[in-house]
Amino acid sequence: MTPNHRFPRAPYALLALGVILLLLGSYLGLFVAPPEHFMGDVQRIMYVHVPTAWNALLAMTFALVCAIAFLFRGDFRWDARMEAAIEVGVLLAFLLCCQGAIWAKPTWGVWWDWDPRLTTTAVLLFAFIGILALRRFVDDPVRRATWSAVATIIAYADVPIVYYSVTWWNSLHQLQSSPATVSKSFHLPLRMNAFAILFLMTGFIMLRARLASLRLEHELAPPPHELDAVGELA
Amino acid sequence: MIAALRKELLLQWRTRAQAIAVFVFGATSLLLFSFAIGPNASALRQHAAGFLWLALLLSSTLTLAESFHAEMEHRALEGLLLLPTSPRAIYYGKAIANWLQLALLGIALVPITVVLYDAATPRLGSLILIILLGTAGISAPGTLYSAMTSQTTRGKQMLLPLLLFPLIVPVLLAAARATSLLILGDPMEQTASWLRLLAAFDAIYWSLCGLLFDRVVEE
């Protein structure tokens, strides 16, 4: 593997694009779009909440893809991408829980509710934090990569089971919001923010993966004195 | 695999003091939970099933954390892997041994729960079935994660529960609900659907963990 040592232009461009889109979309969502009939202004958090949810799931799914790719290919670039995707996914899932709590207090009257999606997000968040912890405690890069790939697959397989179990257990959440269930005037800011967060997420994952592969390159490089020995033999 | 299972069971029998210690730990936690709730008989009965499963879950981390202890001494795991069997056989042998141990522990904790929380049920067969399915759900991923964490040099005690607990949320939920329905009565006939959920979880994780185990132990 040969990580690029040039200045990474693409991720920074994506980040800038994401920030601009997020500002525009949030402006539209906060000031231009009409208030929702039943919930009023509280509903406007949807413009960040729903895009965050989509992208958190996307980041975690990408982590699963990276885990499977690493186990089959053994290429450490996938390990670096997986580390990046898990970290960004954890961040987004955490933000998702916070936004959900902020929305739930005025709407449902409680910060937290044992609703399937909320609970599944929380379980997923803790499961992936566990994997990040595992990565910290394993020093050998090969083991770290393999084990965290295995743990990622196992944790991801849990998502539908947690979802169904909590659905049977208790339910209160709104039906999923998608452009199809939302009135036309809400579309534009929702879509804009979805792409904004998608760009931000991709930018962060690219930068973080680059950092991870630079670290890996450093770890996998033979120690200096062995290099000397090889030089003498040659 | 049969040989691996026999070896595990023999090992567990020779170290039965440890199993008894885990049982005492589980019983002590049941006692502590009742102090946390207070001496309100109906509240205790209400929460009995949840506490039984929490006690079982906490004790299971002790059992699981110890389960690769023998393999770590004198690098015995490498020796096992050199045998002309697949690592899968080692995994299933160990997972079944852990399962039996946890199921026995669960069954042993039932009388304690009945006495402390006044939580008797006439449907003993169903209760044993729930315990079997629930502990199977704990031991399949637990054995795999135990193989990982016992090979780490640092953070052994922390990592196992950190990885295992979020994963077995559905097991805890389904098993505790089903047990609770047995104790408190089941007017809606929901127990069967919780049992199906447990069975589905077991089927998924017993196959998935078996597939992934050789990646965890390979050098």
Q: Cβ contacts (< 8 Å) between A127 and chain B: which residues?
A: 163, 166-167
Tokens in use for A55? 């992208």
Q: Cβ contacts (< 8 Å) between A89 and chain B: which residues?
A: none
Q: Cβ contacts (< 8 Å) between B212 and chain A: which residues?
A: 150, 153-154
Which one of A23-32, A53-62, B209-218 scores highest in mean pLDDT?
A: A53-62
CA distance B13 to chain A (A): 31
ipTM of this complex prediction, to 2 decimal places? 0.82
pLDDT at res. A183: 62
Q: How far apart are CA B120 and CA A227, in angstroms?
A: 70
Closest partner residue to B167 (CB to CB) among A139, A150, A155 is A155
Q: Is residue A229, in this structure, part of any structural domain at all?
A: no
Residue B5: partners with Cβ closer than 8 Å, 6 or more residues away:
B92, B93, B96, B97
Give the domain extent around A47. Answer: 10-32+40-174+184-219
Judge residue A142's burial from the number of C-beta atoms within 10 Å of its C-beta, 0-12 exposed, 13-18 middle, 19 or more buried: middle
User: Helix, strand, or coil here: A40?
Assistant: strand
> Using 50, 70 and 90 to split pLDDT, how confident is the model at A37?
low
Q: Is pLDDT of B96 > 80?
A: yes
Q: Is residue A1, in this structure, part of any structural domain at all?
A: no
Q: How far apart are CA B212 and CA B54, in angstroms?
A: 27
> Using 50, 70 and 90 to split pLDDT, how confident is the model at A31?
confident
Residue A197: partners with Cβ closer than 8 Å, 6 or more residues away:
A18, A22, A48, A51, A52, A54, A55, A92
Q: Is residue A228, in this structure, part of any structural domain at all?
A: no
Q: Is pLDDT of B197 > 90?
A: no
Q: Which amino acid is at B27?
A: A
* Per-chain mean pLDDT for chain B: 86
CA dihedral A149, A150, A155, A157 (to 10 degrees): 110
pLDDT at res. A1: 44
A138 touches chain B (CB under 8 A): yes
Pair A173, A117: CB distance under 8 Å:
yes
Residue A213: partners with Cβ closer than 8 Å, 6 or more residues away:
A1, A3, A76, A77, A80
Between positions 156 and 195 of A, the ones with CB within 8 A of B are 157-158, 161-162, 164-166, 168-169
Pair B113, B119: CB distance under 8 Å:
yes
Q: Is A168's CB within 8 Å of B200's CB?
A: no
Measured CB to CB, residues of chain B less than 8 Å from chain A are 141, 144-145, 148, 151-155, 158-159, 162-163, 165-167, 169-170, 173-174, 177, 193-194, 197, 200-201, 204-205, 208-209, 212, 215-216, 218
Q: Cβ contacts (< 8 Å) between A131 and chain B: which residues?
A: 163
Q: Is residue A96, in this structure, part of any structural domain at all?
A: yes
> Using 50, 70 and 90 to split pLDDT, how confident is the model at A173?
very low
Q: Is residue A143, in this structure, part of any structural domain at all?
A: yes
Terminal C-alpha separation, chain A: 24
User: Helix, strand, or coil here: A31?
Assistant: helix
Q: Cβ contacts (< 8 Å) between B148 and chain A: which residues?
A: 134, 147, 150-151
pLDDT at res. B8: 77
DSSP state string for chain B: -HHHHHHHHHHHHHTHHHHHHHHHHHHHHHHHHHHHH-S-HHHHHHHHHHHHHHHHHHHHHHHHHHTTHHHHGGGHHHHHHHSSS-HHHHHHHHHHHHHHHHHHHHHHHHHHHHHHH----S-HHHHHHHHHHHHHHHHHHHHHHHHHHTT-SS-HHHHHHHHHHHHTHHHHHHHHHHHHHHHH--TT--HHHHHHHHHHHHHHHHHHHHHHHHHHH--
Q: Is A130's CB within 8 Å of B209's CB?
A: no
pLDDT at res. B105: 92
CA distance A143 to chain B (A): 8
The average pLDDT across A111-132 equals 85
Which of A69, A77, A34 lies closest to A208 in space, CA to CA? A77
A178-191 pLDDT tens trace: 555 666 666 777 78
Inter-chain Cβ pairs, chain A and chain B, closer than 8 A: 86
Q: Cβ contacts (< 8 Å) between A168 and chain B: which residues?
A: 193-194, 197
A150 touches chain B (CB under 8 A): yes
Q: How far apart are CA A64 and CA A71, in angstroms?
A: 11
Which of B97, B87, B111 lies closest to B10 in space, CA to CA? B97
CA distance B29 to chain A (A): 24
Q: Is pLDDT of A234 > 80?
A: no
Q: Is residue A224, in this structure, part of any structural domain at all?
A: no
Q: Is A151's CB within 8 Å of B145's CB?
A: yes
Q: Is residue A152, in this structure, part of any structural domain at all?
A: yes
Q: Is pLDDT of B201 > 70?
A: yes
Residue among A114, A124, A128, A137 with most chain B CBs within 10 A, to mutate: A137
Tell me which chain B residue has its CA closest to the CA of residue A170. B173
The average pLDDT across B59-87 equals 79
Judge residue B24's burial from the number of C-beta atoms within 10 Å of its C-beta, 0-12 exposed, 13-18 middle, 19 or more buried: exposed
Domain count, chain A: 1
The DSSP 8-state label assigned to residue A67 in this structure reads H
Name the H helices within chain A.
9-27, 46-73, 76-108, 116-137, 141-169, 184-220, 224-233
Q: Is residue A232, in this structure, part of any structural domain at all?
A: no
Q: Is pLDDT of B35 > 70?
A: yes
